[in-house]
Structure 1
Amino acid sequence: MTARAKADPLQQSTTGEGDRPDYYIAAVGRALAILDAFSPQRPELALRDMAAAADVSQPSALRIGYTLVQDGFLVRNPLTKGYRLGPKAISVGMATLNSLALPEIAEPYLVDLRDRTGETVKLAIHHGTTVVFVSRVPSLTHPAGTHYIGSSLPVHASGLGRAILAHLPEETALRLIEESAEARITSRTLTKAQARKDLALVRERGYAVNDQATSLENRAVAAPLLDANGRPAGAVNLSMSVQRITMAEMERTMAPLVVETARAISAVLPPNVQGAGWS
């Protein structure tokens, strides 16, 4: 959950009832504002934090907190006296995630990565011996390249594919490389033998690079998405022009952001998420 401004009933209409401020239950809105204030960066809130989130006094926040604890949406930390999300809140969140497909879950994270870097971001899954692009957030200032949703590449030839392969069982990964098409997309496309050697390095550093291997105009860095069972559901990459960034700069400045984004998405993926790629 991420912190946001308290909902304004005069501006929001999600029930089809039109603008009916008399329908808005303020106490419910305040409780939801408290739940919405939790995030991975703020897993625990003090009473004063809850009061600020709900825009109420601390005695009022205490009563709201008590109610949420009794109903299982919050729990008290006995050492710090702070509040954390409880099992009911986690169950609701997981039910929501289970109803979403991988591209829907990943989209806000992909947009955030695009906005932080200014570069094009893509999400791909593996399908047999290929990787297929299923989501794309284009740069707002630079040409977005030639790979669009639905296009595919041999699984060993792209950084996206190798990011996925590196987290599959070794026997499966080697089989997929062997069965994939030995396509020389550019003069810098990795051979199958080079791809096999690259997997250990990808596992070690947590990301794969593509240095003009699928387009002579672009470099890219990719990191895997791992579901709740540790299986690679797909991979995220950031693509940049070779005219704007060197390999060393890309690995130093962009790779950590891609890895961070992939881990954030992975943290909210349920087991067997819809739309994931499997061997």
Structure 2
Amino acid sequence: MPQVPAATRALRVLRFLAGQPTPVPLERISHAVGIPRSSAYHLLAAMAEEGFVVHLAEERRYGLGVAAFEVATGYARQEPLARLARRPLAALVDRTGESAHLAVMHGRDVLYVLEERAPGRPPLVTDVGVRLPAHLTASGRAMLAALPAAQVRALYPDRTAFVQRHGNGPASPSALRAVLTETRQRGWAVEDGEVTPGLASVAAAVLDHNGHPVAGVALTFAAGGTTDLAPRVRAAADALSARLA
């Protein structure tokens, strides 16, 4: 069955690219997978058409595409991650008195998979199953900041990739880069009124053993509240990363 070898080669390409810190040239992929350069070229072209690979023409390199990222986060959306995160999120709520949630990336959105609501706090839009634009949420920004720049460019190539909820937040690739640079320098992400007026959030990314962001842990509180909560969110995300690894 000719489909089996082709599928095997495609999976080997995905596995190889997933283990690289940056996009790589065609020759390295051809050598790693063990197929001729011409065969690797046609295979990568087909994978790029389906979104599993992105071709950075100016750099003459290939990296993982959005479709590969969605498949990877599909595992994160399964029950194992929610089961691992439930107790740390409950403990975070107990320590801070604020509502916490766990989200994963889904294309340019975040998908909320777990919420622990603090007693007496107002209901949030981040119910389980809700999707929101990643570039506006603290959870999304935390995960985007942990991605390679090439993958962020693939997700947000131009202004048409940006949507707004209340007229706030980055609306261009350059504005998003500035937000993500601040996020990396700070060590956690913030948003203030960009998702829901009057509410703010801080979040940190949960990383797998390859340093890839699989989820974001966040706390939401009244706008103007203290950001002293951020180190606790960072600690909870780090603890969950350690459990995943």
TM-score (norm 2): 0.64
Which of 135, 147, 167 is matched with 2:146 structurally?
Answer: 167
Give the corresponding residue for 2:66.
none
| 1:41-80 map, 5 Å | none
Q: 2-side partners of 1:178 and 1:117: how far apart?
A: 38
**Root mean square deviation, CA, Å:** 1.8
Matched, 1:259 2:226: no
Q: What do the CA deviations read for 1:107-143 (whole angstroms, capped 9, x no partner)?
A: 1000000111111101000011111001000111211
Q: What do the CA deviations read for 1:142-178 (whole angstroms, capped 9, x no partner)?
A: 1131221111112212111110011111100122133
Matched, 1:141 2:120: yes
| 1:178-189 map, 5 Å | 178=157, 181-189=161-169
Q: 1-side partners of 2:182 and 2:94: how far apart?
A: 29
Give the corresponding residue for 2:110.
131
Q: 2-side partners of 1:230 and 1:171: how far apart?
A: 16
Give the corresponding residue for 1:236.
217
Q: 2-side partners of 1:264 and 1:144: how far apart?
A: 27
What residue ranges of structure 1 are gaps of 5+ in the alignment?
Answer: 1-98, 271-279
Q: 1-side partners of 2:112 and 2:209: how far apart?
A: 22
Asked whether the equivalents of residues 155 and 161 of structure 2 are also in contact (C-alpha less than 8 Å), the reply is no
Asked whether the equivalents of residues 118 and 141 of structure 1 are also in contact (C-alpha less than 8 Å), the reply is no
Matched, 1:203 2:184: yes
Give the corresponding residue for 2:74.
none
2:182 alignment partner AA: L
Q: 1-side partners of 2:233 and 2:123: how far apart?
A: 17
Give the corresponding residue for 2:155.
176
Asked whether the equivalents of residues 157 and 195 of structure 1 are also in contact (C-alpha less than 8 Å), the reply is no
Which of 124, 142, 155 is matched with 2:134 structurally?
Answer: 155
- Runs of 4+ in structure 1 displaced over 6 angstroms? none
1:267 alignment partner AA: A
Give the corresponding residue for 2:3.
none
Q: 2-side partners of 1:116 and 1:153: how far apart?
A: 27
Q: Secondary structure at the match of 2:215?
A: strand
Asked whether the equivalents of residues 125 and 132 of structure 1 are also in contact (C-alpha less than 8 Å), the reply is yes
Q: Structure 1 or 2: larger helix share?
A: 2
TM-score (norm 1): 0.56
What residue ranges of structure 2 are gaps of 5+ in the alignment?
Answer: 1-77
Q: 1-side partners of 2:136 and 2:156: how far apart?
A: 9
Q: What do the CA deviations read for 1:217-266 (whole angstroms, capped 9, x no partner)?
A: 20000100001221111101000012xx43xx22xx11111001110111
Q: 1-side partners of 2:156 and 2:217: how far apart?
A: 20
Which of 212, 220, 225 is matched with 2:201 structurally?
Answer: 220
| 1:260-279 map, 5 Å | 260-270=235-245
- Evaluate the alpha carbon distance shift between residue 100 and residue 216 of structure 1 in structure 2; reply closer, same or farther with a 3 A threshold: closer
Q: Secondary structure at the match of 1:229?
A: coil
- Between structure 1 and structure 2, the one with the greater Rg is 1
Which of 170, 182, 185 is matched with 1:190 structurally?
Answer: 170
Comparing 150-159 with 215-224, which one deviates more in the overlay?
150-159
1:113 alignment partner AA: L
Asked whether the equivalents of residues 217 and 233 of structure 2 are also in contact (C-alpha less than 8 Å), the reply is yes
Q: Aligned pair count? A: 166
